[in-house]
Structure 1
Amino acid sequence: MSLPTVKPASPAELAQFAMLLEVTARGKPGNIDRCHDYADTRLDHFLASAVLAKPVFSAVEDGCLSIGEAVRDAVARTNMHNGGNTHFGAFLLLLPLLAGRGIAGAAELVQKTTVTDAVLFYEAFGLTQVRVRTKDPMDVNDPASVQRLRDEQITMYNVMEYSAPHDMVAREWTNGFALTRWAADLLLEQNTGVHAIPAMFLTLMAEYPDTFIAKKFDDATAEQVMHKARDVKCGRRDLAAFDEECINAGINPGSLADICIAGIFTALLEGWKWDC
């Protein structure tokens, strides 16, 4: 009797897999992994988020949701735990990459987002506790901002353009997913299996100050963390000690983690084998 043909993983499954690979990879300083939790957010919250997002990924793969609808629905589904914001930034990258079947398609799709997408994006913010800048004229928590979106015909892409100077996830929308591309290339070039993800993450961390850290603390702290990551890469600082230092101080490079997920997904789409 012949065995049934096994279908390859779908893009939606690869998106889910990318989320799981990122959060379970050890050696990403300051971020939750199999060895580190924070008081209010734990590994199991991230695992739950990856599982709960799957129906939204499948709907996007089938072309049933706009980007704004997908972001709102993904946040709504994954808000079923009390661990706060786990993957908001990752969804902003994964969903267009999934809909566009990669970077080229995503870069084209995000420019076609609408005012309705922007309104749904703001609605998604209201469902979770995403860290934002204080005293922002486009405050996502201010109902007047939503009316401004409609009055001035501001699309979701326009919102990302506005946020790009101070938010590296938004910046991916406006620069053709440049860091996502670099992250994916690091995985494809290194091809070192389970060790490739922490190596890729540390490379990103050593080159770019994380904008989540800057919002949580300040620009100077984000710069200091970047320079310490460079010291780790050069062997002047111990990785485990740096990781513990970040964890104890609550310094978590969350924006780079989101880009890491997008890079993993892109590499998987392009044939990267995780366990090799």
Structure 2
Amino acid sequence: MEHLPPTRTERAQLAMMLEVTAYPKPGNVDRCHDYADTRLEHFLASTIFVRPAFERAEREGGRLGALIREAVRLTSGHAGGNTHFGAYILLFPLLAGGDIAGALAAVRETDVEDAVDFYAAFGLTQVRMPDGDGLDVNDPASVAAIRERGMTLLDIMAYSAMNDMVAREWTNGYALTRRAADLLHEHGGGRQAIVAAFMNLLAAEPDTFIAKKHGQAVALQTREHAREVVAGARTIADLDDECIAGGINPGSIADITIAGIYVALGEGWQWDC
């Protein structure tokens, strides 16, 4: 029986589902453990609720800021809080553009209204902002400053790139997303390739979500411990236990892994082998 290739929307949903159900991914929700307030079911619910926004992006393109805001609205219907905000930042340009080159073209077309919509979406989440950030999503003066400066959404990402590796993808050509997709191809198909790609990224880059929550020293330490796992000097289960005990979750690496899965799926990577 001939199977049709998945649409962009289906690839994005698959990427979100496959990332959260792969295990073990040290410190993050997976099929083996939840957080106190956010469970696997909440992540899976988001993959379903967000579909209309994904379909709109695939069908029409449109303003990325408005699409991200709509995605946050659609996925606020469960009690698990923010599950995929960083992933939306990466996926919507890919959905609108089809691939990394198209995504980069899409982000260059953003304008001030995209930035304002993005800040409205950001304000609906509980995403952490670094202390001392000059553009506080909870301060109405920040929106006024964005308009006064004529900042586009790409400008906002460039402003945030130093402290946020997801925002950095918009300014560095989706470099880590490309690396994640390459790692998936390198490690073969299925769930274990996702875990291997995740661990390789965690061993290469200090996760900025960890840094915002626990400080840069903890992010660097987690990277070093991931390197020990990749090198075979400690077990992934040991690192998982350590991260869970310390409330350390590499959320930004997870978001980039999702984007990498999306790209790899479009290149023929097999998730169900």
2:135 equivalent to 1:138: yes
1:200 Cα deviation after fit:
0.3
Deviation track 1:150-198 (CA, whole Å, cap 9, x = no partner) reads 1110000000000000100000000000000000011122223221000
For 1:177 and 1:240, the matched residues in 2 are separated by 30
Whether the aligned pair in 1 keeps the contact of 2:54 and 2:92 (CA below 8 Å) is yes
Output the CA distance in 1 between the equivalents of 2:83 and 2:128: 11
**One of 222, 229, 233 as aligned partner of 1:232:** 229
1:22-171 alignment, distance < 5 Å: 22-63=19-60, 65-171=62-168
- Deviation, 1:204, is 0.2
2:194 to 193, 197, 210: 197
In structure 2, do the counterparts of structure 1 residues 137 and 189 end up closer, same or farther at CA, with 3 Å as the change threshold?
Answer: same
The residue type paired with residue 234 of structure 2 is R
- What's 1:259 paired with? 256
Cα distance in 2 for residues equivalent to 1:178 and 1:107: 11
Output the CA distance in 2 between the equivalents of 1:208 and 1:218: 14
Provide the TM-score with structure 2 as the length reference: 0.98
Q: Name the residue aligned to 1:174.
A: 171
Alpha-carbon offset, residue 135 of structure 1: 2.2
Q: CA–CA distance in 1 between the matches of 2:3 and 2:238?
A: 44
Q: Distance in 2 between matches of 1:56 and 1:122?
A: 18
Alignment gaps of 5+ in structure 1:
none
- Structure 2 gaps of 5+ residues are none
Counterparts of 2:3 and 2:180, CA distance in 1: 29
Measure the CA separation in 1 of the matches of 2:195 and 2:230.
Answer: 11
1 CA distance for matches of 2:43 and 2:62? Answer: 23
How far the C-alpha of 1:94 sits from its partner, in A, is: 0.5
SS in 2 for 1:119: helix
Q: 1:235 to 1:162 in 2, by over 3 A?
A: same
The question of whether the paired residues in 1 share the 8 Å contact of 2:65 and 2:113 is answered with yes
Q: What is the match of residue 218 of structure 1?
A: 215
Q: Aligned partners of 1:150, 1:233: CA distance in 2, in Å? A: 46
Alpha-carbon displacement from aligned partner over 1:230-260 (angstroms, at most 9, x marks no partner): 0011111111111011011110000000000
Q: Deviations over 1:206-238 (max 9, x none)?
A: 010000000001000000000000001111111
When normalised by structure 1's length, the TM-score is: 0.96
Separation in structure 2 between the aligned mates of residue 29 and residue 118 of structure 1, nearest angstrom: 33
Offset of residue 203 of structure 1: 0.2
Q: Per-residue deviation at 1:132?
A: 1.1
CA RMSD, aligned part only?
1.1
Q: What secondary structure does 1:30 align onto?
A: coil
1:136 is paired with a residue of what secondary structure? coil
Q: CA deviation at 1:19?
A: 0.1
Deviation at 1:14, TM superposition (A): 0.7
- Match of 2:181, SS state, is helix
Offset of residue 65 of structure 1: 3.1
Percent identical across equivalent pairs?
58
- State the Cα distance separating 1:6 from its structure 2 match: 4.8
**1:273 lines up with 2:231 in the alignment:** no
Q: For 1:263 and 1:157, how far apart are their aligned partners in 2?
A: 20
2:60 is paired with a residue whose SS is: coil
Question: Given that residues 189 and 269 in structure 2 are in contact (C-alpha distance below 8 angstroms), is that contact kept between their aligned partners in structure 1?
Answer: no
Name which of structure 1's ranges 131-140 and 157-166 shifts more when overlaid on structure 2: 131-140
Distance in 1, Cα, partners of 2:189 & 2:3: 26
- Please tell me the residue identity of whatever aligns with 2:113: T
Aligned amino acid, residue 97 of structure 2: G
The amino acid across from 1:241 in the alignment is D
Runs of 4+ in 1 over 2 A off after TM superposition: 5-8
